[in-house]
Amino acid sequence: MAKNSAKIGVLLVNLGTPDSTKTGDVRKYLREFLMDGRVIDFPFIPRWMLVNLIIAPFRAPKSAGEYRKLWTDRGSPLLFHTQDLKEKLIKKLDPEKYLVAMAMRYQNPSIEKGLEELMKAKVKKIIVLPLFPQYASATNGSVIDRVMEIARTWQIIPEITFISNYVDHPLFLEAWTELGREAMQKHNYDKFLFSYHGLPERQIRKGSVEGYCQLGTCCNKYGLKNQFCYRAQCFQTTRLVAAKLGLPEDKVLTCFQSRLGKDPWIKPYTENTIKELAKEGVKKVLVFSPAFVADCLETTVEVGEEYKEQFEELGGEHWDLVPSLNSNDTWVDCVKDLVESRT
């Protein structure tokens, strides 16, 4: 490629993080995040009242304390792991062909800033990769929505390609397998738990094709009708990673965490699964969180600390968390392949 030829822009987008652990910054983040109509899919007025009068004022101080548990000298792990992924990807891709930028769906650096960086470089095409392996309207859909909202204000809109999910990409699965194998050296585990971020059941039903989703055994098979069902994709991720690790089927469990509010969320709940494991006398559990590609509040604190404490209080002996992909070399190769396959 000639040096003066237009490049292909790549925008990596993760969820987002407060600018600091100060309560005000956490409250600001929560407001932006939860006011997204794809996250809390209520009409604007009740959503505004719920977020601004109840959730943000009362949840922010507690959440700020949780963020302090994982904050490092480099700041938020989710942010710097995404930065590390970006830097490694830049080294893997042809610099004369690609320009890589990164953004957060909420807070900084913003999607608008990331797109502006690419457009100023006069790229001929933009590939947007939401860093959420399993498609959900509240994550991947929200990123796509925001990119389109910004792009529609441009006079010139280049070709834009979105990567919706990659639950069955061989290198994505291999990266988790590598980390799993390494973690499995610690103990002879009784059970292997795959804990994914939850969603309200109503959001799954909204995306159901021909009424296929029953929020039950329909997720035991993955095909045309549920290829964009978040719950089905999570179960498929579990099956594929467990198969590569050679895990016995009766030792593998899939569950969902991080509930918010009183409405029913997709099941089984991780908290309930922990109680059931304790009742069965299970002592050693290895946990995967394959909905997250970077360590964050939901992995490090919720799964790694809070659930560990709950399990041990109920008689468990070992609760170990497999780290997220972060900037694992095989994961970087996966991202490289995802990008190049869309070129």
Q: Residues annotated as binding site? A: 197, 298
**CA 258 to the chain's CA centroid:** 12
Write the burial class of residue 71 (CB in 10 Å: 0-12 exposed, 13-18 middle, 19+ buried).
Answer: middle
Task: Quote the tokens at residue 287.
Answer: 């946990």
Pairing of strands 191-197, 284-288: parallel
> Rounded to an integer, what distance in angstroms lies between the CA atom of residue 318 and that of residue 283?
6
User: Which parts are annotated binding residues for Fe(2+)?
Assistant: 197, 298
Task: Name the phi and psi angles at 149, rounded to 5.
Answer: -60, -40
Task: Name the phi and psi angles at 241, rounded to 5.
Answer: -70, -45
> Rounded to an integer, what distance in angstroms lies between the CA atom of residue 17 and that of residue 297?
9
DSSP string covering 274-285: HHHHHHTT--EE
> Rounded to an integer, what distance in angstroms lies between the CA atom of residue 49 and that of residue 59?
14
Task: Quote the tokens at residue 14.
Answer: 């993760």
> Rounded to an integer, what distance in angstroms lies between the CA atom of residue 20 and that of residue 45?
29
Amino acid letter, 279: K
Cis peptide before 290 (omega within 30 of 0): no
Rounded alpha-carbon distances, angstroms, from residue 239 to 79, 236, 249, 257, 305: 29, 5, 9, 18, 26
Task: Name the phi and psi angles at 107, rounded to 5.
Answer: 70, -140
The owner of tokens 């593998």 is: 252
> Rounded to an integer, what distance in angstroms lies between the CA atom of residue 141 and that of residue 214?
22
Q: How many CB atoms lie within 10 A of CB 147?
A: 23
Q: How far apart are the first and last CA of the chain?
A: 14
